[in-house]
Structure 1
């Protein structure tokens, strides 16, 4: 690791290659085998028990004297899917839909957590077509200037948590090598193991993250120790996919979806993308998270849903 916010591009002078999420369907079809199934199985084994414990605790009570907790919504790239059936197999073939890409800065009195890092800022505003024409990607509002606008530099981020390691979520991760990485065991084994490409991960997009600095999780994790910011396991989209629960005093409880769903219609129909790592694990995670949302009275913010995310106020405004 060369240091916080320092990236080594000498060996990679061209635009970023999006070989992760967008090659996942191809690689999984050829390479999914015993290794992935074992990893997904380990992740899934922790899911039901962890969420049952959380759901049974009931809503946490935040006293008026509790120090402020803020969530900043950040724009992290633009996505157009040119064939929606990739997300809804057997339906919507040839239909295009505008999506988005979002990240979140959680400012807690005990530290700062960055949730996802979006598409690599170097991609720029000109759309790039990937995944055999399936997606168009671009970046019109880079991540780091948005953080600077709210007074946060990369070395002030204490914790980095990626919902998963596909490169539309890990694209700017190399700027945050000094943060403690919060990652599920199954995702860690896949991302930092010998063959990350088999899981749709591009190791270059997170090369500056140190496995030694990672806090490897075995299910639910209370980030700051007061119950207000919790990582919940939700495997299936990737081996160790996770979502984030946040208890906000004024806004109420919210859950950041990662790629549990990509848009509201997919949630309503419970469709599973064709490139997910494990369909059965995905459906189990959907059921568990939906039960959790109902038990806690929480709102789900679907990170790729253009209409929903556009309706939220973005940084420098915040939710508390």
Structure 2
């Protein structure tokens, strides 16, 4: 199995959301990460990132959320335009794993009409709840024609231990990570916003934009356990890690 790290957009947000001690006026730029997994049973995409339309018309696509989570990317930086660099198109993706249904993680879901799209049952319920748009669940991002395959608990995607979905609620009600086992490069945990930055894992505190702070801290504790056991944690928005990963042209195996 081969794993590649893809650009899925870029955001500007208040630094204090992720680092509470920082000034509320200071901003931070955040990469948005998607992961392509080429399994013998099919091509898998973990998170589809930001929609290209958010680059061209942020307010039109995201409404008021675009002021809090400012898009600073071009359409070319989104997943649907990155896949051809890896010899694939949207129609070549067989499975999408949706960590959660916030716009910067599910914005291209609709482009993968041939794929089975997995999401946690609790996450879908949160997105469908009354007033969910005020919690960052925008129907134009997550509500897709092909619908979702719901999970409720761990799921071994191909029943071989190579891609295992792990619910880690806290940032959102149904946030789901994925543990990936590669033959050469070992174990990876695709953590998404359960661990937006490496510092959150190492220091054990959750960002302010967590749905449930206690659960978010518990999720970070579980991630730290897996890291201490040797897993490489791929964070959702860590700039230093992104610079390192994006420079690795050969991917992981």
TM-score bracket for this pair, using the shorter chain length: 0.7 to 0.9
Is the 8 Å Cα contact of residues 188 and 233 (structure 2) preserved in structure 1? yes
Greater RCO, 1 or 2 (C-alpha within 8 Å, sep 6+): 1
Q: Aligned with 1:243: secondary structure? A: strand
CA 1:250/1:173 → structure 2, altered by over 3 Å: closer, same or farther?
same
Deviations 1:40-71 (A, max 9, x none): xxxxxxxxxxxxxxxxxxxxxxxxxxxxx011
CA–CA distance in 1 between the matches of 2:219 and 2:227?
A: 12
CA–CA distance in 2 between the matches of 1:253 and 1:202?
A: 33
Is residue 208 of structure 2 the alignment partner of residue 274 of structure 1?
Answer: yes
Report which stretch shifted further, 186-195 or 126-135: 126-135
Give the CA deviation at 1:205. Answer: 0.9
Give the aligned partner of residue 97 of structure 1: 28
Give TM-score scaled by structure 2 length.
0.88
Give the aligned partner of residue 188 of structure 1: 124
Which structure has the larger Rg?
Answer: 1
CA–CA distance in 2 between the matches of 1:154 and 1:195?
A: 31
Gaps of 5+ in 2: none
Is the 8 Å Cα contact of residues 202 and 224 (structure 2) preserved in structure 1? no
Q: State the Cα RMSD in Å.
A: 2.4
Give the aligned partner of residue 71 of structure 1: 3
Gaps of 5+ in 1: 1-68
CA 1:171/1:147 → structure 2, altered by over 3 Å: closer, same or farther?
same
Structure with the largest fraction of strand: 2
CA–CA distance in 1 between the matches of 2:73 and 2:28?
A: 17
CA 1:260/1:106 → structure 2, altered by over 3 Å: closer, same or farther?
same
Give the aligned partner of residue 302 of structure 1: 235
CA–CA distance in 1 between the matches of 2:66 and 2:145?
A: 29
Give the aligned partner of residue 108 of structure 1: 39
Is the 8 Å Cα contact of residues 106 and 113 (structure 1) preserved in structure 2? yes
Give the CA deviation at 1:239. Answer: 0.5
Give TM-score scaled by structure 1 length.
0.70
Give the aligned partner of residue 39 of structure 1: none
Deviations 1:150-200 (A, max 9, x none): 222222211111111100111111101321121112112222455532542
Is residue 252 of structure 2 the alignment partner of residue 319 of structure 1?
Answer: yes
CA–CA distance in 1 between the matches of 2:57 and 2:133?
A: 26
Give the aligned partner of residue 51 of structure 1: none
Give the CA deviation at 1:127. Answer: 8.4
Give the aligned partner of residue 167 of structure 1: 103
